[in-house]
Every structure is written in structure tokens, then in C-alpha cells.
Amino acid sequence: MGAVSGFGLGVKALCAGLRSGASAIGPIRSFNADPYRVKVMAEAPPCSDLPEATTRCDALAVWAAREALHSAGLGGDQVPGERTAVLIGSSAGGTTAVERLRREQILGEHTPDFRNLRGCTLSSPGDSVALDLGLSGPRMAVSTACSSSAVSIAIAADLIRSGRAEVAVAGGVEAASESLFSGFHSLMALDPELCRPFDSRRRGLVLGEGAAVVVLESESRARKRGRTPLAFLTGYGLCCDHHHITAPEPTGREAARTMHLALRDAGITAAGIDHVDAHGTATPAGDVAEIRGIQTVFADHLDQVTVSGVKGAIGHTLGAAGGFGILASILQLEEGVVFPTANLEEVDPECRAPHVLLMARDTRPVRILSNAFSLGGNNISTVLQAPDDE
């Protein structure tokens, strides 16, 4: 695993932050927030050891991918470059590289130099990762908004199952971007103070930035080279709620359908899940729809699962968010705990579920269902399983 988040560089910092119930949200530093009513975000630190020419988005992705490959024991020439896929998803990719030019063009402040467009596309982070790590297998940038990285990881697993790749470096990235921020600002979807998923005082999401990357390979390949897998991705459900471009289907029917598809793909029932890593954006409508979906899926088993999410801690990292959910799920399986939902203190009566409050709980989860729902309704749920259960 590899990560850059509001908690800092690396998975260790992410794990410590999530476990403690802390929040990385603070004043915006990446751009001038004076024109906006909301002035907070969960920004990641600089990745100062990367080449200057790399965009912020590419730098975040490369840093996380390097850490992931190194921690998998595939650093240097250990990775089969020609058989390694790269799937780095994002909502906007290198838009920050374009923002400056668009600003200059629209406001007429300077003559924009359109030759300086390196790293401005959706696929640029993945191309930079492939270049940095010398990987020449299949390459694909998934862009399904807030589910981009989870979908990337799921497709990467399929590429391995189908034989298109032996190893995959997959996940997602999102850099702080004024155009994305102004978009959510215009939707009135931002909380001006904190992100409080499922809390009765919640007012919306807080944006975050970062990159979350995992390395996937088959169990036999990992064991052959003496590695015990951190977790198994045993199934996923991918579908479209076809309801509204920004609003989730309100009854939770579509959220439930996504989770059911994942359980079916993993060959288990809801009773086999110990914990739900919720999408939990802290929007009034989104949280209620997701909890209704969870209530539908778990029905009689609801009191046997716990529910928490990471966005109160690291903000909504958009294209990286689903990847952070999967990373958090793997960490919880590895550590034998479930993390709390940061900033959740007064559970909204409409969001009633066995939430994890204030501090991590030692419950030794074996299977976790991780949700990533998106603008546009491109939803995915994944099932992660601890290796000891095999």
C-alpha cells in the first residue's frame, strides 16, 4: 500500500491518524480562498523529493505508487515491468496544470503559454507512475468521479484474473483544485467547518487531497516469492444508479443493489461481513441514502456489523476516496481494529447504525465491505478479506 493524505506522507501516518479519530482538515493553502464562503480542506504535504517538472497531481500519485511497490517487496528490478499494469484514477487528473492557463486566458492577465501543458490530462498521473517505475503493462485512467480509485482497483484485479497482467499498481489521486472546489461550493455541498459523516449537525463534505495506491497480484504469485498477502479482494459490485447527476437515489435501493452485487461476486451473504467502510461524505442526502442501503442489505444482521468511514478524518478526496476506503479496510483487517468516524458525535436518527465513535475498537474484522459512490451514480462496493480466513 502507498498513501499521501492530509495526515502526511505514507501509510503509517494515515493509519495512525485514522486510528486516533483525528481530523486533518485545516485552512486552504493551495489557492486563494478569499472569494469563497468555505475556507477549509484537508490538504496533503508537499512531495519534495520528486522532480520539479511534475505536476502536483502526478507527484502525489508517484509518491504513493513508489511506497506501494516498495512495501510489496517489488521495488527496484523486482517488479515484472512488462507484465505490470498501471491504473490510476482521478476525477480531474492534472486540471491544476490547465487552471492557470484558463485563468490567464479568461481574465486576460497574461498571454497563456499553451506549450506548458505537461501533465494536464486524466491519464497523466498513470503515465507518470509508469515512467517513474518503468512499467510497460496495460495502462488505463478510470474517471468515475468519487469512485474512480475503487473502480481502478477492481478492474486491476480483473486484469490479473484474466491474465492481461501479473501485477497491478492501482488506485487514485486528486490534487487540490480551485475548479473542483468552486464546483462543490456552487452545489452548496461544502461544510464550512468540519466533515461530520452521519452526524445530526453535518452540513456537507470537506474536500481533501491525496493519493491511495495498492499493489495487486495473485495469491500464488505472492506466496511463491515468500509474501503473505495483506488482504484478498474477493469480489466487487459495480453498477449505475441512473437516478440523478448529483443526488443519490434516496431510498437506498441503488446503494443496496451495489452492495448485494459485491456480496454475490464474493460468494457470501451479508452475515459474512464484519464491518462496513462507508462512503459517508457527510452530505445530508448521501448519508441517509447509504445508511438506508446498509439497513436493507444487513437487515437482521445489522447489529453484528460496525460502520465507519474516513472522510471526517481526511476529507473527501474525490478520485482517491474509494482507494482510501480500500486502504483503510486493509489496515483495519491487518491491525484487527475498526477505525472510528472522525467528528461523529451525535448520530442523526435517520442514520442509525452501529457506528464506531471516538476511538478505534478491537473487533478483529475478517471481512469488510467498502463503499464508493459517485457523482453520476457510478457506484462500487468491494469485499476485502483478511488472509487468515482462507
Q: Cα separation of 279 and 309, whole Å?
A: 6
- Our answer to whether residue 355 is catalytic in this structure is no
Min separation Cβ 29 and other proteins, Å: 18
- At residue 138, the 3 state secondary structure works out as coil
Parallel, antiparallel, or unpaired: how do β-strands 378-385 and 232-240 relate?
antiparallel
- The H or E element containing residue 258 is helix 253-266
Judged by CB under 8 A, the residue of 50, 117, 268, 366 near other proteins is 117
Select 135 or 259, whichever has its Cβ closest to other proteins: 135
Min separation Cβ 91 and other proteins, Å: 6
Q: Cα separation of 286 and 371, whole Å?
A: 12
Cell of 239: 453498477
Residue 151 binds to other proteins (criterion: CB under 8 A): yes
Span from 15-23, 130-138, 273-281, 298-306 in contact with other proteins (CB under 8 A): 130-138
Residue 54 · residue 96 · CB < 8 Å: no
Cell of 120: 494536464
Count residues near other proteins (CB under 8 A). Answer: 80
Q: Under 8 Å CB-to-CB from 372, ≥6 apart: which residues?
A: 146, 147, 149, 150, 151, 279, 321, 322, 325, 379, 380, 381, 382
Judged by CB under 8 A, the residue of 149, 374, 382, 385 near other proteins is 374
Min separation Cβ 343 and other proteins, Å: 25
Alpha-carbon distances, residue 73 vs 60, 80, 147, 189 (angstroms):
20, 12, 28, 41
Select 263 or 307, whichever has its Cβ closest to other proteins: 263
Q: Smallest Cα–Cα separation from 385: which of 363, 374, 370, 372?
A: 370
Min separation Cβ 3 and other proteins, Å: 23
Residue 94 binds to other proteins (criterion: CB under 8 A): no
Judged by CB under 8 A, the residue of 130, 215, 297, 338 near other proteins is 130
66-85 residues in contact with other proteins (CB under 8 A) are 81-82
Residue 366 · residue 274 · CB < 8 Å: yes
Span from 10-18, 90-98, 196-204, 207-215 in contact with other proteins (CB under 8 A): 90-98
Residue 123 binds to other proteins (criterion: CB under 8 A): yes
Catalytic-role residue among 146, 260, 275, 351: 146
Min separation Cβ 77 and other proteins, Å: 14
180-209 residues in contact with other proteins (CB under 8 A) are 182-188
Catalytic-role residue among 260, 275, 279, 355: 279
Q: Smallest Cα–Cα separation from 23: which of 191, 237, 212?
A: 191
Select 134 or 336, whichever has its Cβ closest to other proteins: 134
- State in Å, rounded, how far the first CA of the chain is from the last one: 21
Q: Smallest Cα–Cα separation from 55: which of 143, 129, 118?
A: 118
- Our answer to whether residue 146 is catalytic in this structure is yes
Catalytic-role residue among 57, 195, 260, 316: 316
Min separation Cβ 289 and other proteins, Å: 16
Residue 220 binds to other proteins (criterion: CB under 8 A): no
Residue 250 binds to other proteins (criterion: CB under 8 A): no
Span from 59-67, 140-148, 332-340, 342-350 in contact with other proteins (CB under 8 A): 140-148
- The H or E element containing residue 9 is strand 8-9
Cell of 366: 475478517
Q: Cα separation of 285 and 290, whole Å?
A: 9
Residue 248 CB neighbour total at 10 angstroms: 27
Judged by CB under 8 A, the residue of 43, 67, 127, 290 near other proteins is 127
Span from 127-135, 206-214, 215-223, 284-292 in contact with other proteins (CB under 8 A): 127-135
Residue 79 · residue 133 · CB < 8 Å: yes
12-51 residues in contact with other proteins (CB under 8 A) are 35-37
Span from 16-24, 134-142, 208-216, 220-228 in contact with other proteins (CB under 8 A): 134-142
- Tell me the residue type at 361: R
- Our answer to whether residue 301 is catalytic in this structure is no
Residues labelled catalytic: 146, 279, 316
